[in-house]
Amino acid sequence: MEFNGCFSSCNRLQDDNDLKFLLKGSLLLKVKSSSWRKERFYKLQEDCKTIWQESRKMLRSPESQLFSIEDIRDVRPGHKTEGMEKYAQDVPENRCFSIIFKDQRKNLDLIASSESDANHWTAGLKKIITHSSSMNQKQKLQHWIHTCLRKADKNKDNKMSFKELKNFMKEVNIQVDDSYAKEIFQQCDKSNTEALEDDEIESFYKILTERKEIDRIFSKYTSEKEPMSCDRLVQFLQEEQQKEDAGPETALSLIERYEPSEAAKKQMTMTKDGFLMYLLSSDGDIFNSSHGKVYQDMTHPLNHYLVSSSHNTYLMEDQLRGPSSTEAYIRALTKGCRCVELDCWDGPNSEPIIYHGYTFTSKILFSDVIKAIKNYAFKTSPYPVIISLENHCSLEQQKKMAEHMKDILQDMLVMAPVDGNISNFPSPEQLKGKILVKGKKLNRLEDTAGANGNNNHVEAEYVSDEDEAAEIEDEVVKKEIEQTEKSDKLTLAKELSDTVIYCRSVHFTGFEESRQSQAFYEMSSFVESKGLRLAQESGTDFIHHNVKYLSRIYPAGWRTDSSNYNPVDFWNVGCQIVALNFQTPGNEMDLYQGRFQDNGFSGYILKPEFLRDVDTTFNPKSIVEGTWWTQKKLVVKIISGQQLPKVNKGKNSIVDPRVTVEIYGVQQDSDKKQTRVIENNGFNPTWDEEFEFNIDVPALALVRFMVEDFDVSTKNDFIGQYTLPFTSLQQGYRHIHLLNRNGDPHPSATLFVHIRIQDNY
């Protein structure tokens, strides 16, 4: 069921040998354990977007045997996953590969019958993934509709009957009454054959994807049925998009990039199709594309930045029984995380292990985690990674930890003050490609620099930083702790102590005590409840503390389900290392991803000047005039939605979407407003509703757009969201490309909005 303009991922790769092999399919060995290794047939479907996998399970639905190329995060050749390292060492690496998924699904570890077959699979999948990610929004829409058309064509005759058309409408998430569906059908059925084919399907596609709201904007700047001239495009950019410096050069570059008609390009004009392509592109996105690169000054001291940080990084699920995995570190690091946590305990064969102490979470080798950090630390960002050690090991295994870090990380590991500086933190720029260790330390930084420390061990004074596991509020854990002979002192090996340079863990006793006696390289960790109390009761003191020192916040012990707290309150007082459970999706991780997509997804965000000033009087709980007081009025118009995905996969389920716009920041800026519910239309709902928000401290504000499927009787189902800093908003007509619950993009789901920002003095 092809139609003109329909895009297929296979089209441009149709002569590729790797793709031909995948379309034909092959037998692969699926590996689950040392005793489970079974032959299964895998095949790329004709849509080049899904893989069919053979299953021997009884009563398994056809849909469950498919997975989408969109769901693949990575394809790794060789023994590059825990499963392959454990269960496939007897097979040559050149026959092995693994498929890593974006969500919480387990890796798919596979063995091909030959090196050639393995190469076809890894190369072919990577080509399709690359090709798919380079598709523009219109191509994604065309491909998605084409896939739905194929699915609706039950008898595979490349025609669409009226019944198939109605099924298709449900498939794309829009409910229409029979009379309207019949009207569209008859309008397109020029041949009067009671079936649509070829050009008739093309006509149906055009009716279906018509964007009347775009037509109205376009017609405002053009004569009837004429393309938009270069001058009129400049006018649109200046008046609507608030690009005051836009001139003919800017307009011509947009025409060159997004105009599909060569004739229009030659005339230096933009057609309606080109205009839509521009609005769906990164240039038409709500997020300022210049903030997608590192644009902030990266030469300030390390403590002047917010740092993307993970708590209990080794866990894939909950805090009590979930699996520990090196894959969790890889996922966190590739999401831009710059501070990871290692909970270290004595393991068998004199090898330290990592797991959540006193619980039933599984165990992984310390050395394997350090290898994973080395391999993935700088894939997403070149800026420094902090290894936060929670050390419960014996003296001998501590020495082993130090040995592994030195041997594996080598020059990456910071083992001495940078450029001999012992009076202030180095900058992220100076620490590019470097790894720091946070933990207990025997001597002062000055002693390390002078190599004067000669004690082999000493008892650490406090255990609070070193035994967060003991804070878990679970009866089984509490009994386990009671039965363990536990000292509140720790014997620390000099070898491990020497790996700690700029992040020495110390117990927090009070802001005044810190001012008088704490060295700049000493830092404290605060459980969320204590940190929140300090932020609320002593906000300005906490900010002053964070101007000089690093602070780390971690989740409360009762969060055994790995839930998260709201990080915004801690960012508002300048806390740098606000650690969340990266494995748990939700509002909190949405805010986290929104904050750290800024500055090129580098994992480092420069704090506003008023959070770096030693004399600041800023207090987020009591806003008075100051440099932070730059009042703005944000006017948001929610115009329409496009291709919102079905939440309930039931055949007759159609979503009833509602949009919520939320502001997160200082308390008086926090706000939330909602549109009305649009019933039975997830394909192209229209709201045309406008909201106003007053924002006093825009430097700390985040804006979140969230779409739900409204339900009168039960909890609303989450459809998608997008969060970004207020300072990264682009004005004018903008598309918002929605993210799913795990923070990955929906293939074609968008909101169309208009943004206006005004001074509010």
Active site residues: 311, 356
d(CA 339, CA 310): 6
Residue spans of beta strands (DSSP E) within 460-559: 491-493, 500-505, 522-527, 551-554
d(CA 386, CA 624): 36
**Is residue 54 a known part of a binding site?**
yes
**Is residue 46 a known part of a binding site?**
yes
**Is residue 30 a known part of a binding site?**
yes
The pair of three-digit structure tokens given for residue 216, joined into one six-digit string: 């109205």
**Is residue 310 a known part of a binding site?**
no
Residue among 714, 649, 685 at smallest CA distance from 175: 685
**Is residue 672 a known part of a binding site?**
no
Q: What are phi and psi of 693, to 5 degrees?
A: -130, 135
**Is residue 60 a known part of a binding site?**
no
The pair of three-digit structure tokens given for residue 476, joined into one six-digit string: 């089984």
**Locus of tokens 């690009």:** 243
**Is residue 429 a known part of a binding site?**
no
**Is residue 656 a known part of a binding site?**
yes
The pair of three-digit structure tokens given for residue 276, joined into one six-digit string: 């839509």
**Is residue 33 a known part of a binding site?**
yes
**Is residue 734 a known part of a binding site?**
no
**Is residue 440 a known part of a binding site?**
yes
The pair of three-digit structure tokens given for residue 269, joined into one six-digit string: 């004009």
Residue spans of beta strands (DSSP E) within 140-276: 228-229, 269-270
Asked if residue 703 lies in contact with residue 723, where contact means CB atoms within 8 angstroms, the answer is yes
Looking at this protein, which amino acid is placed at residue 212? K
Does residue 351 sit in helix, strand or coil?
Answer: coil
Asked if residue 136 lies in contact with residue 281, where contact means CB atoms within 8 angstroms, the answer is yes
- DSSP-assigned letter for residue 289: G
Cβ-based burial of 487 (10 A; exposed 0-12, middle 13-18, buried ≥19) = exposed
**Is residue 654 a known part of a binding site?**
yes
Q: What are phi and psi of 87, to 5 degrees?
A: -115, 0
- The rounded Cα 169 to chain-centroid distance in angstroms is 31
Q: What is the largest CA-CA distance in the chain?
A: 94
The pair of three-digit structure tokens given for residue 416, joined into one six-digit string: 């001495």
CA angle, corner 668, sides to 665 and 671, nearest 5?
70
**Is residue 651 a known part of a binding site?**
no
**Is residue 45 a known part of a binding site?**
yes
Asked if residue 298 lies in contact with residue 342, where contact means CB atoms within 8 angstroms, the answer is no
**Is residue 411 a known part of a binding site?**
no
Residue spans of beta strands (DSSP E) within 546-631: 551-554, 577-580, 604-606
**Is residue 47 a known part of a binding site?**
yes
Does residue 586 sit in helix, strand or coil?
Answer: coil
Residue among 609, 598, 601, 596 at smallest CA distance from 567: 596
**Is residue 37 a known part of a binding site?**
yes
**Is residue 525 a known part of a binding site?**
yes
**Is residue 48 a known part of a binding site?**
yes
Q: What are phi and psi of 73, to 5 degrees?
A: -90, -40
Please give the C-alpha separations between residue 261 and each of 9, 207, 268, 687, 704, in angstroms, as whole numbers: 21, 21, 11, 32, 36
**Locus of tokens 């990080």:** 567
- If one counts every other C-beta atom within 10 angstroms of the C-beta of residue 87, the result is 20
- Complete DSSP assignment for 208-237: HT--HHHHHHHHHTS-TTPPEEHHHHHHHH
Cross-strand partners of 663: 671, 703
Residue spans of beta strands (DSSP E) within 254-360: 269-270, 305-310, 339-345, 353-354
**Is residue 480 a known part of a binding site?**
no
The residue length of the chain stands at 761
- The rounded Cα 345 to chain-centroid distance in angstroms is 30
**Is residue 57 a known part of a binding site?**
yes
**Is residue 35 a known part of a binding site?**
yes
* Edge-to-edge strands, sheet with 37-44: 66-68, 50-53, 37-44, 26-31, 108-111, 96-101, 72-77
The pair of three-digit structure tokens given for residue 183, joined into one six-digit string: 């009207």
d(CA 143, CA 145): 5
**Is residue 680 a known part of a binding site?**
yes
**Is residue 22 a known part of a binding site?**
no
Q: What are phi and psi of 484, to 5 degrees?
A: -95, 125
Residues that constitute the known binding site for substrate: 30-57, 438, 440, 525, 552
- Annotated binding-site residues for Ca(2+) read 312, 341, 343, 390, 654, 656, 680, 709, 711
- Annotated binding residues: 30-57, 312, 341, 343, 390, 438, 440, 525, 552, 654, 656, 680, 709, 711
